[in-house]
């Protein structure tokens, strides 16, 4: 059926409705307007969102909130130090004196700690530290703080177990921010042996005193660095640490020390200190022909473990009785300079022999006292005037005889001789706190010094300097620099030396000091079975501390014995110094320690007796000017009347030109 529009009979049945006309245009215009408005609205929204994003980015970049700062700190790379192992200190036979072993240190990143109270309580129970101390570390400003250094393996395992146990049960980490880092600990397998000499290393890796400080530059390794990546709240990302710089361990130092000799010397010294109640004691054992030190011992009077008193009373106060000794806090062998007494006579006689004012055969009439510069000097015992040779003077340790010999020399010559033997100058072993000793310049010396200096007063020397001087005689006139290292990092340390006196003068001097252990000499107790010993005793007064102008403390003395072998396949020397022993003479106290230490050391080193060369009767560089048969005392030193002594059926005249009962000599 065909539909026909009655309004327009001409309209085709196929013509679309509303295909043209005003109404159609109006609808299309409305739709376009709506689209434009929607576009503008969407554009505005996009622009606003973009502006908000830009503003937010600016705020985050220029003025981030605290929470974002906190999160930024928790995310990223953590740089950690890889602590280097410190080199070991070994004795000459490979015995470990000090070494580093693995240990853990507890550290914290306070920014990651969520519950400092709970964490402090948990750690306090493991580490046995005050909870308040740990809490303070956990809230320290910054991102790193130490909680406890170099903890035991048991404590480290307990911390790791606490964390792993909680995580295994699905619980949060109970120690957020806590880490265990490698931190090697320094150990001394021999405990207190040579405590001051070896030194120590603090928890923070600082070397203090002794060999630790002396060789610190080579013992200290180079730390490394590693990076660990982490996410917030201490959750490590599944990325292994990346080592940026490997840690380089320090070098080993093989010392000249012999643990067996060191321990024996410590024992022998301790026994004599207790027996004689000496305040302090020092022993040094060396090879005089290369400068190697086998032992260096320093001990003080002992106190009960919980005592708060000082182990050594001031020198001008009585020393409390003690029954054992303990290690000294300082290396007295190189730090404590003292008036050495008669051991100083080595420099005086060496100068006199070299200048030709005496020979080994010179006979000297020696009274028991002498006046010099307004002071009177005495021998240890009252005696009638005696005819003595230089060897007799040294064997009997005659102060008067030594002063008479020194009177033929100028103070400058004597001072130069002391300096040449190493007194008043560095030894070359510059351990921390080492003293050069003291020797007044000639221009500052008093008239009394003309008598005091030649016999070991008005001057200061350390025990090592005293031993160095006698090593010169044992080493044929050379002074070898004392040393404590055989090798460093596998590289041998060479011996160094300088010539002090000629070989022939050294041989003559050895012969003069060889009688010290004879039955009628000052130190028969220093004898070593099977071996010949040359050496000297020293018994010197102690000046008031910090105020020498007060003079000497009544009844207080330093007792010294120094000596060396003259017929041993292993050359060996030693010095022993005791402070204020009850038996004041070095020959009665220090000599005994010397004998004990040398006897053991020679046996331990496998020393054999060898035939010693015959000592020459003359010396190099000695004046050929004929000497009077009987020694003449310098009138400028002692303008006293002459003394006549009948000896061997003949009269000896002290002052040339004088007469005895009308009989000239």
CATH of the domain at 244: 3.90.1310.10
What is the pLDDT, as a whole number, of residue 415? Answer: 95
* Local structure of residue 488 (DSSP, 8 states): E
Backbone dihedral region for residue 189 (phi beyond 0: left; psi -120 to 50: alpha; all else: beta) = alpha
Distances (CA, A) of 245 to 182, 221, 225, 402: 15, 13, 5, 66
Distances (CA, A) of 256 to 234, 320, 473, 492, 498: 50, 36, 21, 11, 20
Contact in structure between 581 and 276 (CB atoms under 8 Å): yes
Contact in structure between 173 and 112 (CB atoms under 8 Å): no
Q: Which domain holds residue 649?
A: 635-665
What is the pLDDT, as a whole number, of residue 22? Answer: 53
Nearest 5°: the CA angle 39, 44, 46 is 95
Query: Nearest to residue 566, comparing CAs of 533, 526, 521, 613?
Result: 533
Pairwise CA distance, residues 544 & 554, whole Å = 10
Single out the residue in 219, 239, 255 at which a domain terminates: 255
What is the pLDDT, as a whole number, of residue 27? Answer: 59
Contact in structure between 196 and 186 (CB atoms under 8 Å): no
Low-confidence ranges of the chain (pLDDT < 70): 1-31, 33-34, 59-80, 228-241, 304-311, 313, 316, 548, 612-665
* Local structure of residue 330 (DSSP, 8 states): S
Query: Nearest to residue 340, comparing CAs of 469, 456, 458, 467?
Result: 456
pTM of the model: 0.76
| 525 within domain boundaries | no
Secondary element (H or E) of residue 345: helix 345-355
Q: Dihedral angle at the C-alpha atoms of 2, 5, 10, 15, nearest 10 degrees?
A: -80
Q: Which residues contact 440 (CB under 8 A, 6 or more apart)?
A: 449, 453, 458, 459
What is the pLDDT, as a whole number, of residue 619? Answer: 38
Q: Sheet harboring 178-182: ordered strands across?
A: 145-151, 104-108, 178-182
DSSP 443-456: GG--STHHHHGGGT
| 235 within domain boundaries | yes
| 295 within domain boundaries | no
Contact in structure between 143 and 73 (CB atoms under 8 Å): yes
Nearest 5°: the CA angle 65, 70, 73 is 130
Q: Dihedral angle at the C-alpha atoms of 545, 347, 256, 485, nearest 10 degrees?
A: 80
What is the pLDDT, as a whole number, of residue 543? Answer: 84
| 145 within domain boundaries | yes
Pairwise CA distance, residues 257 & 292, whole Å = 8
Nearest 5°: the CA angle 174, 180, 184 is 160
Beta-strand relationship, 145-151 and 104-108:
antiparallel
What is the pLDDT, as a whole number, of residue 293? Answer: 98
Mean pLDDT of the chain: 82
Domain count, the chain: 2
What is the pLDDT, as a whole number, of residue 26? Answer: 58
Residue 563: how many other CB atoms lie within 10 Å: 31
Query: Nearest to residue 380, comparing CAs of 360, 365, 402, 359?
Result: 402
Q: According to DSSP H, which parts of 192-335 are helical?
A: 195-198, 210-214, 216-219, 259-276, 332-335
Single out the residue in 188, 221, 255 at which a domain terminates: 255
What is the pLDDT, as a whole number, of residue 453? Answer: 94
What is the pLDDT, as a whole number, of residue 10? Answer: 47
* Residue indicated by tokens 């708060």: 308
Contact in structure between 576 and 590 (CB atoms under 8 Å): yes
Pairwise CA distance, residues 225 & 250, whole Å = 16
| 211 within domain boundaries | yes
Task: Supply the angle between the helices 463-474 and 345-355 in degrees, to the nearest 10.
Answer: 40
Pairwise CA distance, residues 177 & 109, whole Å = 5
| 566 within domain boundaries | no
| 412 within domain boundaries | no
Residue 163: strand, helix, or coil:
helix
What distance separates the 2 farthest-apart alpha carbons in the chain?
194
Contact in structure between 342 and 521 (CB atoms under 8 Å): no
| 415 within domain boundaries | no
Single out the residue in 232, 255, 278 at which a domain terminates: 255
CA within 13 Å, CB half, 222: 3
């Amino acid at each position: 059926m065909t539909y026909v529009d009655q309004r327009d009979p001409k309209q085709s049945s196929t013509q679309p409705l509303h295909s043209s006309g005003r109404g159609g245009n109006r609808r299309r215009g409305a739709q376009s307007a709506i689209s434009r408005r929607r576009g503008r609205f969407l554009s505005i929204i996009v622009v606003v969102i973009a502006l908000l994003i830009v503003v937010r980015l600016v705020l985050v970049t220029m003025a981030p909130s605290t929470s974002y700062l906190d999160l930024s700190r928790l995310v990223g790379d953590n740089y950690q130090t890889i602590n280097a192992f410190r080199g070991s200190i070994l004795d000459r036979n490979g015995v470990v004196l000090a070494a580093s072993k693995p240990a853990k240190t507890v550290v914290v990143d306070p920014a990651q700690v969520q519950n400092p109270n709970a964490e402090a309580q948990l750690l306090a129970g493991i580490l046995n530290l005050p909870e308040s101390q740990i809490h303070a570390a956990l809230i320290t400003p910054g991102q790193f703080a130490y909680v406890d250094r170099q903890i035991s393996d048991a404590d480290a395992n307990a911390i790791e177990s606490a964390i792993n146990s909680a995580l295994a049960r699905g619980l949060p980490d109970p120690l957020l921010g806590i880490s265990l880092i490698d931190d090697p600990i320094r150990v001394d397998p021999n405990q207190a042996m040579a405590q001051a000499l070896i030194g120590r290393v603090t928890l923070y890796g600082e070397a203090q005193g002794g060999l630790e400080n002396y060789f610190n530059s080579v013992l200290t390794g180079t730390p490394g660095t590693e990076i660990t990546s982490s996410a917030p709240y201490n959750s490590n990302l599944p990325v292994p640490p990346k080592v940026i710089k490997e840690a380089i361990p320090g070098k080993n130092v093989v010392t000249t020390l012999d643990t067996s000799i060191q321990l024996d010397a410590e024992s022998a010294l301790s026994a004599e200190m207790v027996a004689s109640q000496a305040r302090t004691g020092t022993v040094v054992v060396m090879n005089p022909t290369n400068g190697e030190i086998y032992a260096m011992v320093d001990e003080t009077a002992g106190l009960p473990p919980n005592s708060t008193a000082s182990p050594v009373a001031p020198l001008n106060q009585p020393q409390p009785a003690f029954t054992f000794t303990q290690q000294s806090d300082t290396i007295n062998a190189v730090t404590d300079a003292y008036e050495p007494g008669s051991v100083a006579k080595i420099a005086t006689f060496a100068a006199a022999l070299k200048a030709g004012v005496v020979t080994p055969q010179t006979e000297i009439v020696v009274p028991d006292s002498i006046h010099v510069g307004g002071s009177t000097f005495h021998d240890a015992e009252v005696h009638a005037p005696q005819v003595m040779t230089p060897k007799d003077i040294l064997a009997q340790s005659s102060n008067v005889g030594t002063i008479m010999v020194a009177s033929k020399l100028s103070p400058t010559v004597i001072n130069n001789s002391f300096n040449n033997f190493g007194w008043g100058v560095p030894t070359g072993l510059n351990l921390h706190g080492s003293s050069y000793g003291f020797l007044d310049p000639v221009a500052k010396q008093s008239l009394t010094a003309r008598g005091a200096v030649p016999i070991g007063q008005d001057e200061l020397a350390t025990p090592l300097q005293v031993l160095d001087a006698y090593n010169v005689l044992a080493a044929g006139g050379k002074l070898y620099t004392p040393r404590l290292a055989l090798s460093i990092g596998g590289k041998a340390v060479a011996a160094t030396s300088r010539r002090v006196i000629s070989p022939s003068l050294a041989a003559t001097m050895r012969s003069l000091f060889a009688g010290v252990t004879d039955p009628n000499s000052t130190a028969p107790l220093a004898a070593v079975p099977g071996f010949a010993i040359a050496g000297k005793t020293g018994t010197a007064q102690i000046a008031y501390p910090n105020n020498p102008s007060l003079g000497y403390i009544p009844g207080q003395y330093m007792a010294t014995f120094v000596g060396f072998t003259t017929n041993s396949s292993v050359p060996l020397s030693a010095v022993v110094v005791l402070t204020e022993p009850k038996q004041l003479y070095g020959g009665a106290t220090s000599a005994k320690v010397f004998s004990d230490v040398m006897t053991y050391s020679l046996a331990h080193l496998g020393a054999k007796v060898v035939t010693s060369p015959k000592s020459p009767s003359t010396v190099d560089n000695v004046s050929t000017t004929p000497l009077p048969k009987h020694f003449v005392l310098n009138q400028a030193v002692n303008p006293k009347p002459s003394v006549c002594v009948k000896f061997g059926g003949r009269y000896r005249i002290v002052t040339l030109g004088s007469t005895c009962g009308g009989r000239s000599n």
